Amino acid sequence: MSLFIKRYVQFMDGLSEWVGRFSMLLIYLMIMVLLFDVFSDKALGIIQNWTLETAQFSLAAFYFLAGPKTLKDESHVRLDLLYDRFSERGKAIIDSITIWLVIFYLVVLLWGGISSLQYSWATNQRLPSLWGPSLVPIKILMNVCIFLMILQSLAIFFRDVLKIREGDAS
């Protein structure tokens, strides 16, 4: 496998790891916002109209940002009826085929996400609430993360091809 592809896999694994670790901090942000909401309401008697949506957006951002790391670490849900019985090379062959189904799904998801972002941008779409935050930032983040998942999926494909080739060399 070429040096460029090996570096690409290393770069994407590192980027996915970093983005995933950053996403973990968003849980703390969500907890702090919700604690502030409870304190403000119960102790001060002041109801905040922005805290619930901020907590929802931080949770959504957590899920989006954790996607590439979840793929990298293979900590996603997998149906393992036969898969565990295969050799490492056999698993790599299966994965190198099925990752293209994941990539197809992610490309369709990105296509819809871009369309949704364009609509939100053109209409200045906002949540129908007192605070009324714009949906554009979370939709931008969603699309960036879907794109990162596509790039990580390609890295997974290249890693599987390397495993298959190493199996042929033995």
Can you tell me whether residue 81 is helix, strand or coil? coil
- Contact at 8 Å (CB) between 88 and 159? no
CA 145 to centroid of chain Cα atoms: 5
Burial category of 20 from C-beta neighbours within 10 Å (exposed 0-12, middle 13-18, buried 19 and up) = buried
Stated pTM of the model: 0.86
Q: Which residues contact 167 (CB under 8 A, 6 or more apart)?
A: 87, 88, 89, 92
pLDDT number for residue 156 = 94
141 and 110 Cβ atoms separated by less than 8 Å: no
CA distance 60 to 133: 14
| 77-131 tens-digit pLDDT | 777 778 788 888 888 898 899 999 999 999 999 999 999 999 999 999 998 888 8
85: Cβ contacts below 8 Å, ≥ 6 apart: none
How sure is the predictor about 163, in pLDDT bands with cuts at 50, 70 and 90?
confident
pLDDT in tens, 64-75: 999 999 999 887
pLDDT value at residue 88: 85
The per-residue pLDDT for range 116-162, each reduced to its tens digit, is 999 999 999 998 888 889 999 999 999 999 999 999 999 999 999 98
What is d(CA 117, CA 135) in angstroms, rounded to the nearest whole number?
A: 8
User: What pLDDT, on a 0 to 100 scale, did the predictor assign at position 31?
Assistant: 94
* pLDDT per residue as tens digits for the range 30-66: 999 999 999 999 999 888 889 989 999 999 999 999 9
